[in-house]
């Protein structure tokens, strides 16, 4: 997802660099239950947090589909529609096919403003027309070959209940319709990730089962003067998205932090992230133990805790360990450029998900999109089955907007909680995490029972049951988050904290709080501000 910063660029005349979106992936033998997993954080200051729904449909011969750029809403043109399109909930369709992405840009001269298909349309058209990951790769690459590619370089996560793939793709520039691309299957016993930096290096041209690529992926690079070596030494990422420091510190670091949580050997790549080593981070690794969907929710909430990059530590975090770093992510002083760390969990997330695809269940039951809005560190992932008929009102894209507040919108409800929490993060995050755990433990206990109920009835009845369940959980949890926000306001109002006992505030018989704690400041922060404050003077000397 690109940031929609045109207006701000005009206002402030600043060159703003985009580093949005994170994807993590796991093969079916790398997970505790045999499901495949894909995560996606859609990060943009101009993206409203909503769950998209494209119902299944049949189309008459000659029907056309209008194509709009997902980032800007610009009309790009139209293409012929196919006879049958599949139902899509968010980024998962009725066949449990899931697609996510991260933008890396790459060589700017390869963008083509005359292309008809942008990266967002590529995702949602493929979801409506494909049943498997391999089908989706063909649909996507055929579309850009025929109609041209409008966007910049992208990494796509493409997964079904049995296979997990990463495809990287970039256009050919004005006057050269199509794109160069490569796709590789992640081994079933491995995990992978990408975060706005192309990650596929050498291509195994002999392995036709696990690799796909455009016929001119190397020749086009030679023609453009990007590469002169042999096919076997060709690196897609080095050629089309050469690595720089921001690609390491802002992008690869997020993948490293995920890897280090699943494999103890990955700590050694910290020097790579810091630009001190040239040893590349692997494209995929085997986890020390199998991972779960719940683990992946935790990885999406990562803020580099326990590492040198911990965003909640240091002077920039203020006295209460806030994760907030106002963008841009870099600043310049005395001719030197400095960078903030950019964690996976970030304030500008519109929505994110953990997609769980389960091959042993019927498709309408097997696919769960654990969906959340706003900052993953303070959100809740709610189970949305891929077979549901409609989305909850609280997640509807017609309920509120970035410039229109709605009290029934989950996006605005979660933002209210998060933005208040940033001011005293070290205190309020504990309350929020406890609330997250209560709800997600509840979901994890409930989902197996719902699966069984849905298996025992017809598909139509099951889809009605799953629709009601998914919508009810979303609405009830959103209301609970609204109440959480009210509770936090009462507890932490005006920079103090009211004491509690057994879940209730401690008051006297008149209802007045008996214990009000003053938060004060930690000693290390006091030492920083002491030189700027007035030192006490003994006036009685």
Quote the CA–CA distance of 325 and 339 in Å, as a whole number: 10
Number of domains in the chain: 1
Paired with 152 in beta bridges are none
Q: Residue 96 and residue 365: Cα distance in Å, rounded?
A: 9
CA dist., res. 437 & res. 37, Å (int) = 20
Helix (H) or strand (E) holding 170: strand 164-171
The pLDDT assigned to 15 comes to 38
With respect to residue 170, please indicate whether it lies within any of the assigned structural domains.
no
Residue with token string 């016929």? 215
Structure tokens at 146: 């025929």
| Cβ-based neighbour number of residue 514 at 10 Å | 11
In a domain, 204, yes or no: no
With a cut of 90, say whether residue 16 has pLDDT above it.
no
Tokens representing 449 are 């029972």
DSSP state of 175: T
Cα–Cα distance list, 188 to 20, 222, 292, 356, 389 (Å): 27, 34, 14, 15, 31
**Runs of H (alpha helix) within 253-346:** 253-262, 270-273, 293-300
The torsion angles phi and psi of 66, rounded to 5 degrees, stand at: -80, 140
Share of the chain above pLDDT 90, in %: 95
Place of tokens 């507890």: 491
With b meaning 16 or more CB within 10 Å and e meaning fewer, what string describes 399-415? bbeeeeebeebbbbbbb
| pTM of the shown model | 0.95
CB 92 within 8 A of CB 355: yes
pLDDT tens digits along 195-210: 999 999 999 999 999 9
Q: Are 226 and 180 in contact (CB under 8 A)?
A: no
- Which tens digit of pLDDT belongs to each residue from 262-278? 999 999 999 999 999 99
pLDDT tens digit sequence for 487-535: 999 999 999 999 999 889 999 999 999 999 999 999 999 999 999 999 9
- Nearest one of 62, 156, 60 to 101, comparing CA atoms: 156
Mean pLDDT (the chain) is 95
Measured over the CA atoms of residue 34, residue 350, residue 249 and residue 315, the dihedral's sign is negative
The confidence band for 541, taking pLDDT boundaries of 50, 70 and 90, is confident
Confirm whether 132 is domain-assigned.
Answer: no
Q: Provide the CA 262 distance to its chain's centre, in angstroms.
A: 18
- From CA 373, how far away is CA 474, in angstroms rounded? 11
Per-residue pLDDT for 169 more than 60? Answer: yes
Q: Read off the pLDDT of each residue in 120-145 and give the average, rounded to a whole number.
A: 99
Per-residue confidence at 19, pLDDT binned at 50, 70, 90? low
Task: With CA atoms as reference, report the closest residue to 488 among 441, 440, 418, 439.
Answer: 418
- For residue 391, being part of any structural domain is answered with yes
* Cβ 204 vs Cβ 211: under 8 Å: yes
β partners of residue 327: none
* Residue whose structure tokens are 């999109």: 369
pLDDT above 90 for 2 = no
Higher pLDDT, 501 or 3: 501
Query: Residue 255: inside a domain, yes or no?
Result: no
Coil, strand or helix: which one is 437? helix
- Can you say whether the dihedral through the CA atoms of 358, 24, 56, 135 is positive or negative? negative
Residue 348 domain-assigned? no
Nearest by Cα to 150 from 28, 68, 42, 209: 68
Query: In 3D, which of 440, 382, 375, 467 has the Cα closest to residue 53?
Result: 467
DSSP 463: H
- State the SS3 of 374-401: CCHHHCCCEEEECCCCCCCHHHCCCCCE
How far is residue 37's CA from residue 100's CA, in Å, rounded to a whole number?
11
Residue pair 474/395 in contact by the 8 Å Cβ criterion: yes
CB atoms within 10 A of CB 96: 30
Burial class (CB in 10 A: 0-12, 13-18, 19+), 45: middle
CA distance 412 to 277: 43
Band of the pLDDT at 187, cuts 50, 70, 90? Answer: very high
Over residues 33-45, the pLDDT tens digits come to 999 999 999 999 9
Q: How far is the C-alpha of 395 from the C-alpha of 317, rounded, in Å?
A: 31
Element (H, E) at 193: strand 191-194
Please identify which residue in the block is written with the tokens 């700027």.
Answer: 532
Determine the structural domain holding residue 411 and report its residue range. 356-497
pLDDT at residue number 18: 54
Whether residue 488 is contained in a domain is answered as: yes
- Give domain status of residue 403, yes or no: yes
For the stretch 285-308, pLDDT in tens is 999 999 999 999 999 999 999 999
- Res 470 pLDDT > 70: yes
Instruction: Quote the radius of gyration of the chain (alpha carbons, Å).
Output: 24
């Amino acid at each position: 997802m690109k940031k929609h910063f045109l207006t701000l660029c005009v206002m402030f005349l600043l060159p703003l660099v985009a580093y949005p979106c994170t994807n993590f992936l796991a093969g079916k033998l790398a997970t505790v239950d045999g499901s495949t997993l894909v995560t996606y954080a859609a990060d943009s200051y101009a993206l409203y947090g909503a769950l998209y729904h494209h119902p299944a449909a049949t189309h008459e011969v000659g029907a056309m589909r209008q194509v709009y750029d997902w980032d800007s809403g610009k009309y790009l043109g139209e293409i012929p529609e196919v006879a049958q399109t599949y139902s899509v909930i968010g980024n998962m369709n009725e066949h449990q096919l899931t697609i996510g992405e991260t933008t890396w840009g790459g060589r700017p001269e390869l963008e083509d403003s005359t292309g008809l298909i942008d990266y967002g349309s590529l995702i949602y058209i493929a979801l409506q027309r494909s049943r498997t990951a391999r089908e989706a790769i063909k649909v996507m690459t055929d579309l850009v070959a025929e109609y041209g590619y409008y966007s910049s370089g992208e990494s796509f996560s493409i997964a079904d209940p049995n296979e997990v793939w990463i495809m990287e793709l970039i256009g050919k520039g004005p006057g050269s319709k199509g794109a160069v691309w490569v796709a590789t299957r992640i081994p079933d016993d491995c995990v992978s990730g990408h975060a706005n930096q192309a990650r596929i290096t050498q291509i195994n041209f002999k392995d036709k089962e696990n690799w796909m690529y455009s016929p001119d992926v190397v020749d086009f690079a030679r023609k453009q003067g990007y590469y002169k070596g042999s096919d076997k030494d060709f690196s897609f990422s080095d050629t089309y998205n050469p690595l720089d420091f921001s690609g390491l510190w802002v992008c690869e670091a997020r993948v490293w932090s995920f890897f280090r949580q699943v494999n103890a050997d990955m700590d050694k790549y910290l020097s790579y992230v810091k630009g001190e080593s040239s040893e590349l981070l692997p494209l995929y690794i085997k986890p020390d133990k199998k991972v779960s969907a719940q683990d992946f929710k935790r990885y999406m909430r990562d803020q580099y805790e326990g590492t040198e990059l911990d965003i909640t530590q240091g002077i920039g975090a203020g006295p209460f360990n806030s994760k907030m770093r106002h963008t841009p992510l870099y600043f310049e002083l005395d001719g030197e450029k400095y960078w903030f760390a950019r964690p996976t969990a970030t304030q500008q997330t519109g929505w994110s998900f953990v997609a769980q695809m389960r091959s042993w269940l019927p498709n309408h039951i097997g696919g769960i999109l654990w969906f959340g809005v706003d900052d993953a560190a303070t959100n809740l992932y709610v189970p949305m089955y891929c077979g549901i008929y409609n989305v909850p009102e609280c997640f509807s894209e017609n309920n509120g907007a970035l410039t229109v507040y709605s009290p029934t919108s989950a996006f605005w409800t979660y933002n209210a909680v998060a933005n208040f929490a940033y001011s005293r993060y070290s205190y309020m995050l504990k309350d929020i995490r406890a609330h997250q755990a209560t709800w997600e433990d509840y979901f994890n206990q409930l989902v197996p029972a719902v699966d069984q109920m849905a298996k025992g009835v017809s598909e139509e009845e099951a889809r009605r049951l799953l629709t009601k369940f998914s919508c009810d959980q979303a609405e009830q949890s959103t209301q609970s988050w609204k109440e959480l926000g009210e509770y936090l306001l009462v507890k932490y109002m005006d920079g103090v904290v009211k004491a509690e006992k057994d879940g209730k505030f401690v008051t006297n018989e008149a209802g007045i709080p008996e214990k009000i704690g003053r938060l004060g400041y930690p000693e290390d922060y006091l030492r920083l501000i002491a030189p700027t404050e007035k030192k006490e003077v003994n006036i009685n000397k």
